[in-house]
Amino acid sequence: MGLIKLDAHFPRLPGDLGLASSWGPHVLEVVVQGALPELIVKQQLAFKQSSFAPLFADAVQTLVQKGATAITTSCGFLVLWQQELQALSPVPVITSSLCLLPELLHREQHVGVLSIDAHSLTPLHWAGAGLGPHLVRRLVVKGMPPDGHFCQSILGNQAHLDADQAQQEVVAAALSLVQESPQLKTLVLECTNLPPYQSAIEMATGLKVLSLRDNPVLDKAANE
């Protein structure tokens, strides 16, 4: 499996999907230098129009040449480039856990999404995941508090991350989402830095919690 990584320096906890060890024994990595987390999340439209496009295209080609049979990324917001990156690749490209949503919405009336920044998700992101407005209306989306420790550490690309404090914030956000929408059965974690807290979210909410790690194509590629 090929993993395209942002230029991130924050600590990655066990289970973080930017870690090859969170996937399996057969993972190839490419880091896109200068692709900072805040740039991807907060300034994504300017980012898409920037000079980074060839760098991500090169990353796809490098991973294919090295033998990747499927490719993913370390940031769910890169779904913005899902269609473009897939068009460059002869193997499946799954940029984000948001790509799980169309199938889930065929089975469930509403699905929850926990994002690092709900306000920065645009119609272009949802379109990249294959979701039109009629399906987006059936999503219940919650973002992490922007002034919280988790967001400050990840988007600020800081060298310190307190796992306990981050978990408290993540669980609180998930519980708030459930309180607002008690009909939910499934919660999708947009951010690849959220899976370290997946078990805690499941225990606190009773929901089925999914992440990019639950994509069967990627799982097979990382472990075959």
CATH number, domain of 150, equals 3.40.50.1860
130 and 174 inside one domain: yes
The stretch 145-150 carries a mean pLDDT of: 98
109 and 46 inside one domain: no
166 and 91 inside one domain: no
What is the domain-level CATH number for residue 82? 3.40.50
138 and 201 inside one domain: yes
The mean of the pLDDT values for the chain is 96
pLDDT of residue 52: 80
CA proximity to 189, closest of 174, 213, 216, 211: 211
109 and 199 inside one domain: yes
134 and 83 inside one domain: no
Helices (H) and strands (E) in the chain, counts: 11, 8
63 and 165 inside one domain: no
Give how far Cα 79 sits from Cα of 94, 120, 131, 165, 208, Å: 8, 12, 11, 28, 22
Integer Cα distance of 35 and 38 in angstroms: 9
pLDDT of residue 43: 82
pLDDT of residue 51: 74
73 and 122 inside one domain: no
Which domain range does residue 207 map to? 97-211
Q: In the predicted model, is pLDDT for residue 141 greater than 80? A: yes
The stretch 72-91 carries a mean pLDDT of: 96
